[in-house]
Amino acid sequence: MTIGNYSLRGVSSSKEDVHKAIKNLDKGIYPNAFCKILPDYLGNNKNYCNILHADGAGTKPVLAYLHWKEFKDPEIWKGIIQDAIVMNLDDLLCVGATGPFLLSSLIARNKYKIEGEVISHLISATQKIINEFKKSGIKIILTGGETEDVGDVVKTLSVNFTMACRMKRIEVIPVNIEPGDVIVGLSSSGVTKYEKDFNSGIGCNGLTSARHDLLSKHYSIKYPESYDTEIPENLVYSGKNKLNQKKSGVNPDITNYLLSPTRTYSPLLLEIFKYDRKKINGIIHCTGGGQTKVLHFIKSNHVIKNNLFPIPPVFSLIKEQSQTQWEEMYKVFNMGHRMEIYTNESVANTIIKKSRKFGIDARIIGYVEKSKTKKLSIMTEHGDFVYS
């Protein structure tokens, strides 16, 4: 993959057209919050606010579909449910929400490809994940959902959730990044004390390109329903690997690299909020847009990331086999940390100590300088890259 191939596959890391379409919409009572925050329509209390958020597992379910067809492993669907829930939950955590959270599902499927057994696994997995979050202090209530048979629209399946909560306005954490802030990055890979298995760090973003760049033509021939026929042929499953291809390192095969469930930072953030909520100037979930996500939340200032984590093997493998430019890799993937906290150096050091208690690698990965225009500089051993 070269610069531009992500778009050629029908995906956008920055979603410029979406941001242009919504730029004139009401941005809520905290316009620069990570999620849109509304007045307390549910309780009509001026001291409270409401949040309703929707997100999902992206194209990761297509990978799970391939794995299911090849190996019939029901556990793979539990990972997809975790992906879709975490993409909602960790976004809400960025504004300081701690729950309880109401959760509703939307599963769209092609009935001829996704049989009832898969739906059963998905629904069962949802309750299992909710129970696991409860052990970490996160209360999620499943309100129901919708399963749509829309084969004319969806070739395999799509897994999405909507999550809602009510919180005190005084507890809201908007994004007010200031010169002098340092940035604490929370690693996306490794094994935390609340995870059972090693996490590759892939998360839920960039999976369209990861799937096509790493997997072989074998899958386009055997499962033509797993890709968009509008994609240029040379970009369809252009890799060298099978799902069970063995790789060196902690994860033994491609499945474990690409389908590693998205890590939640909720246990750590709950702990941080008990002590340091008022000293945090912003929390950014590095999802769509990868390491450039912060650009959506600053109008000026220069964000400098000059001490990033070592690149996890999954991203090195994608880079190696796709020949993607490094500049594009940082726009598409999280590249080693999926959550970053903007604060002062004293609080940063406290957060890093708390992170270690949960088995999460954390470090100061950069800082913020004054600037009349917004700018992001990412400085790496592979070069320095500037985004605006």
User: pLDDT by residue (tens digit) across 56-99?
Assistant: 999 999 999 999 999 999 999 999 999 999 999 999 999 999 99
Tokens of 221: 């021939």
Q: Are 185 and 340 in contact (CB under 8 A)?
A: yes
Q: What is the pTM of this model?
A: 0.94
Domain that holds residue 301: 26-203+260-387
Q: What is the pLDDT of residue 1?
A: 43
Q: Is the dihedral of CA 155, 143, 68, 1 positive or negative?
A: positive
Residue 275 belongs to some domain of the structure: yes
Does 239 fall in a domain?
no
Per-residue pLDDT, 6: 56
Whether residue 79 is contained in a domain is answered as yes
- What is the Cα 337 distance to its own chain's centre? 10
In a domain, 361, yes or no: yes
Residue 193 confidence (pLDDT) = 96
What phi, psi does 63 have (nearest 5°)?
Answer: -60, -45
Tokens of 385: 């890259």
Number of domains in the chain: 1
Residue 319 lies in a domain: yes
Asked if residue 103 is part of any domain, the answer here is yes
What is the structure's pLDDT at 25?
Answer: 78
Judge whether 18 lies within some domain: no
Low-confidence ranges of the chain (pLDDT < 50): 1-3
pLDDT score for 246: 78
The answer as to whether 20 is a domain residue is no
Which pLDDT score is estimated for 3? 47
For residue 332, what is the domain's CATH number? 3.30.1330.10
- The phi, psi pair for 74, rounded to 5°, reads -65, -25
